[in-house]
């Protein structure tokens, strides 16, 4: 049963030649707006020629382009009249994907429910005050999150370092850390021994630790000044770091806002360096 044109497309997109597939993808990307424009605009957006667009709609089973547009408009009309039914109710998608998404969304709500605005503001403030250096590090699967956060923070303020590579390398960086510095650690199950040892040593040197972990709390929590506990359970073989990722983005945004004045100047300076 094919109800919407979007389904029709994703059903046949596999059998389409390259050019028409581009058309399909650009249409899906911001559905259904591109389809309401003229053939010329559609083709320009997709980077193909007009005839390809027409062949595309022909393959979908429409006699001509206006007929295709009418179908899109009808669909849009039905959709606008019942706005509530449009926002993804769990039953409509049905497939194996939906439970994963639902669980992830729940995780985020839960994570933020246990996270007060004040707590986030405090952490952001600590990251924004430029007394010392900021170091970031993560575990096997969470190190990309540390990288992601470092990439953003490094733009709006100086002295941001992501600790990468072999353990011996970042262990030696301990020598540079002191009580004015901040260490952001990502560590979820199964907690890594090496990270715990590293955190302990940093803690003894007076470094303030901000820990991103799961709801069962990494042993590093003992040494941490701030602990962010995210929900990670999803119906999959793996744990999900998505909630922690969103917290990280939220913090990045908050820090950016606090450093607005200084940060804006810094960004301009960076731009001029290219």
Partner DNA sequence: CAAAATACGTAACATACGATACAGCGCTCC
Partner DNA sequence: GGAGCGCTGTATCGTATGTTACGTATTTTG
In the complex, the smallest distance separating the C-beta of residue 133 from DNA, rounded to whole angstroms, is 18
What residues from 30 to 59 belong to the interface with DNA (CB under 7 A)?
38-40, 48-52, 54-55, 57
Q: What does the buried/exposed string (b/e) look like for 106-142 if buried means 16 or more CB atoms within 10 Å of the residue's CB?
A: ebbebbbeebeeeebeebbebbbeeebbbbbbbbeeb
In the complex, the smallest distance separating the C-beta of residue 251 from DNA, rounded to whole angstroms, is 25
Q: Which is nearer to DNA, 64 or 73 (CB)?
A: 64
Q: Does 178 bind DNA (CB under 7 A)?
A: no
Q: How far apart are CA 227 and CA 225, in angstroms?
A: 7
- Contact range with a second copy by CB under 8 A, out of 127-135, 178-186, 189-197, 225-233: 225-233
- Contact range with a second copy by CB under 8 A, out of 55-63, 72-80, 181-189, 192-200: 72-80
In the complex, the smallest distance separating the C-beta of residue 65 from DNA, rounded to whole angstroms, is 3
In the complex, the smallest distance separating the C-beta of residue 153 from DNA, rounded to whole angstroms, is 25
Of 61, 66, 90, 178, the one binding DNA (CB under 7 A) is 66
Q: How far apart are CA 61 and CA 58, in angstroms?
A: 5
Q: Does 20 bind DNA (CB under 7 A)?
A: yes
In the complex, the smallest distance separating the C-beta of residue 58 from a second copy, rounded to whole angstroms, is 21
Q: Does 134 bind a second copy (CB under 8 A)?
A: no
Whether the bond into 44 is cis, omega within 30 of 0: no
Close Cβ partners of 204 (under 8 Å, ≥ 6 residues apart):
none
Q: Which is nearer to a second copy, 176 or 268 (CB)?
A: 268
Q: Does 201 bind a second copy (CB under 8 A)?
A: no
Cβ(173)–Cβ(215) below 8 Å: no
Q: How many residues bind DNA (CB under 7 A)?
A: 18
* Count of CA atoms in the C-beta half-sphere (13 A) of 179: 2
Q: How far apart are CA 56 and CA 184, in angstroms?
A: 50
Close Cβ partners of 80 (under 8 Å, ≥ 6 residues apart):
none
């Amino acid at each position: 049963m094919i109800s919407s044109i979007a389904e029709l497309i994703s059903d046949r997109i596999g059998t389409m030649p390259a050019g028409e597939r581009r058309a399909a993808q650009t249409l899906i990307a911001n559905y259904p707006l591109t389809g309401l424009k003229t053939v010329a605009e559609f083709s320009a957006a997709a980077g193909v020629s007009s005839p390809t667009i027409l062949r595309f709609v022909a393959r979908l089973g429409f006699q001509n382009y206006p007929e295709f547009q009418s179908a899109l408009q009808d669909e849009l009309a039905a959709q606008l009249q019942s706005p509530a039914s449009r926002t993804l109710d769990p039953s409509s998608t049905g497939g194996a994907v939906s439970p994963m998404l639902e669980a992830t969304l729940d995780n985020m709500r839960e994570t933020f429910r246990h996270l007060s605005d004040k707590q986030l503001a405090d952490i952001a403030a600590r990251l924004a005050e430029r007394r010392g250096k900021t170091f970031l590090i993560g575990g096997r699967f969470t190190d990309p999150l540390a990288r992601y956060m470092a990439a953003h923070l490094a733009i709006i303020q100086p002295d941001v370092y992501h600790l990468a590579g072999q353990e011996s390398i970042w262990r030696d960086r301990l020598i540079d850390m002191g009580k004015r510095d901040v260490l952001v650690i990502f560590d979820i199950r199964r907690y890594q021994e090496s990270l715990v040892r590293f955190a302990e040593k940093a803690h003894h040197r007076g470094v303030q630790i901000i820990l991103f972990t799961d709801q069962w709390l990494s042993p590093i929590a003992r040494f941490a000044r701030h602990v962010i506990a995210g929900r990670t359970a999803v119906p999959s073989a793996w744990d999900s770091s998505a909630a922690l990722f969103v917290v990280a983005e939220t913090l990045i945004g908050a820090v950016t806002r606090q450093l607005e004045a200084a940060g804006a100047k810094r960004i301009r300076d960076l731009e001029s360096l290219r």
